[in-house]
């Protein structure tokens, strides 16, 4: 294993059977042509220093020049970056290398079948992976010269206790490229194939190695001492990588509520409180707003209408549920609530959704006292037996009697 500052050990016999320069015309089989790397590189450079992930100048895995005669087998550094929501780009930079693929392959030339694996390792959610570029000098013919095969694989890794590898199993292919300017392999991994990491999820146990796969085939135990070069190890890993979703700044929004269930009578209004924790590192801030959706056609609303936040914000907001007058006993209205946040980056507007809360409101119609059907006479008696009515009636009768008595006296005169 090459180590910075260590003496030459394995590297001598590793290289001794190789010649460096190709005298024949090679044939290359590759997964895809050189395409987007320069573009990717520009993105890497532009985002250096502001991205949360690694970069060429701030890599997760940093090695140095080891005592390896051939610099194309000597790892310099490796880093992780996302250019979009769906893929992860892994870059493995070597101390030096040829300027194009054909030259690269001529360096690996051999009379015998010889295979090198250039590999970056990482773990996510209890699963261990690697991306591996396999460079294979398949055979030599006088007519064609050396025939080389290049491929790249996504592998699942089983480790043994001391951090060496029990075996590596191919679980898929990855897009890859050779960046001659930076003498680096780039791998583009579909996130779904490594457990679909979301923003804020973390890749751990990052390290890299170059293997002579003839001596240490990937389907057998690979002891670290057998590696041509290593940069960090499983047990002494490089920095972790936190996913950002491919955005320049960090965005986060979560909602909480302590009371999410209530009962109410027809016509009543229920007001729920919920808390919003929202943050962004975008200096221009971002917009958030609540999106409540009712399971049945009731009137609902939230106090959290569209507003701008910068930095971190902790808000207490309300969700209002209006129970209809004609709501039936036992009816339950469920309101699912989430808060959306815009991600003001890129050409298309992207929205980040918070977690979802569900608020349940159940109708309880109170028992009513039976209404008696009184007759008109009974109602009249009820009215007439009211105390103040009786007093008035008595007063009227007194007045009438007095008037009658007075009238009688006048008649006698």
Q: Return residues touching Ca ion (CB under 5 A).
A: 63, 66, 74-75, 229
Nearer to Ca ion, 67 or 214 (CB): 67
- Considering just the CA atoms, what is the radius of gyration of the chain in Å? 40
Distance between CA atoms of residues 328 and 259, nearest Å: 23
For tokens 């009249």, what's the residue? Answer: 380
The CB-of-243 to Ca ion minimum distance in angstroms stands at 27
The CB-of-165 to Ca ion minimum distance in angstroms stands at 16
The CB-of-162 to Ca ion minimum distance in angstroms stands at 17
Nearer to Ca ion, 70 or 251 (CB): 70
Q: Is 91 exposed, middle or buried (0-12, 13-18, 19+ CB in 10 A)?
A: buried
The CB-of-251 to Ca ion minimum distance in angstroms stands at 37
User: Residues 223, 227, 228, CA angle at the centre, nearest 5°?
Assistant: 165
H-helix segments, 283-386: 376-384
The CB-of-90 to Ca ion minimum distance in angstroms stands at 17
By the 8 A CB rule, do 55 and 178 touch? Answer: no
By the 8 A CB rule, do 136 and 114 touch? Answer: yes
Nearer to Ca ion, 4 or 28 (CB): 4
104's enclosing H/E stretch is helix 101-107
The CB-of-215 to Ca ion minimum distance in angstroms stands at 17
The CB-of-74 to Ca ion minimum distance in angstroms stands at 4
Nearer to Ca ion, 60 or 63 (CB): 63
Nearer to Ca ion, 8 or 138 (CB): 8
Structure tokens of 79? 């880093």
The rounded Cα 231 to chain-centroid distance in angstroms is: 28
Nearer to Ca ion, 74 or 82 (CB): 74
Nearer to Ca ion, 63 or 168 (CB): 63
Residues 6+ apart with CB under 8 A from 91: 44, 56, 78, 79, 80, 81, 179, 182, 184, 185, 186, 187
């Amino acid at each position: 294993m090459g180590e910075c500052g260590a003496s030459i050990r394995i590297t001598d016999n590793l290289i001794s059977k190789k010649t460096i320069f190709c005298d024949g015309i090679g044939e290359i089989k590759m997964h895809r042509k050189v395409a987007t790397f320069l573009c990717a590189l520009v993105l890497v450079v532009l985002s250096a220093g502001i991205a949360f992930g690694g970069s060429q100048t701030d890599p997760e895995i940093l090695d140095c020049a080891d005592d390896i005669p051939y610099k194309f087998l000597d790892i310099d550094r490796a880093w992780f970056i996302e250019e979009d929501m769906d893929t992860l780009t892994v870059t493995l930079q070597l101390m030096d290398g040829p300027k194009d693929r054909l030259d690269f392959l001529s360096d690996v030339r051999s009379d015998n079948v010889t295979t090198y694996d250039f590999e970056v390792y990482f773990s996510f959610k209890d699963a261990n992976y690697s991306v591996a570029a396999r460079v294979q000098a398949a055979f030599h013919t006088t007519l064609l010269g050396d025939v080389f095969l290049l491929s790249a694989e996504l592998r699942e890794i089983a480790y043994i206790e001391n951090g060496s590898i029990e075996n590596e199993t191919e679980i898929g292919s990855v897009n890859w490229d050779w960046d001659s300017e930076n003498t680096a392999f780039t791998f583009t991994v579909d996130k779904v194939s490594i457990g679909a990491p979301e923003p804020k999820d973390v890749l751990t146990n990052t390290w890299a190695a170059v293997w002579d796969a003839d001596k240490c085939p990937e389907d057998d135990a690979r002891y670290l001492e057998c590696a041509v070069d290593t940069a960090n190890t499983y047990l002494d890993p490089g920095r972790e990588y936190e996913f950002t979703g491919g955005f320049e700044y960090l965005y986060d929004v979560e909602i909480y509520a302590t009371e999410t269930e209530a009962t109410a009578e027809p016509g009543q209004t229920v007001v729920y409180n919920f808390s919003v924790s929202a943050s962004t590192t975008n200096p221009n801030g971002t917009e958030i707003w609540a999106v409540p959706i009712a399971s049945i056609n009731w009137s609902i609303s939230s106090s959290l209408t569209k507003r701008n936040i910068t930095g971190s914000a902790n808000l207490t907001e309300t969700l209002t549920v209006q129970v209809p007058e004609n709501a039936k006993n036992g009816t339950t209205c469920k309101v699912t609530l989430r808060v959306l946040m815009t991600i003001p980056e890129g050409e298309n507007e992207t929205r980040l959704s918070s977690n979802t809360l569900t608020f349940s409101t159940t109708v309880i119609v109170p028992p009513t006292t039976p209404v008696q059907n009184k007759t008109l006479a009974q109602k009249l008696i009820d009215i007439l037996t009211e105390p103040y009515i009786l007093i008035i009636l008595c007063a009227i009768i007194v007045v009438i009697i007095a008037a009658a008595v007075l009238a009688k006296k006048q008649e006698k005169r």
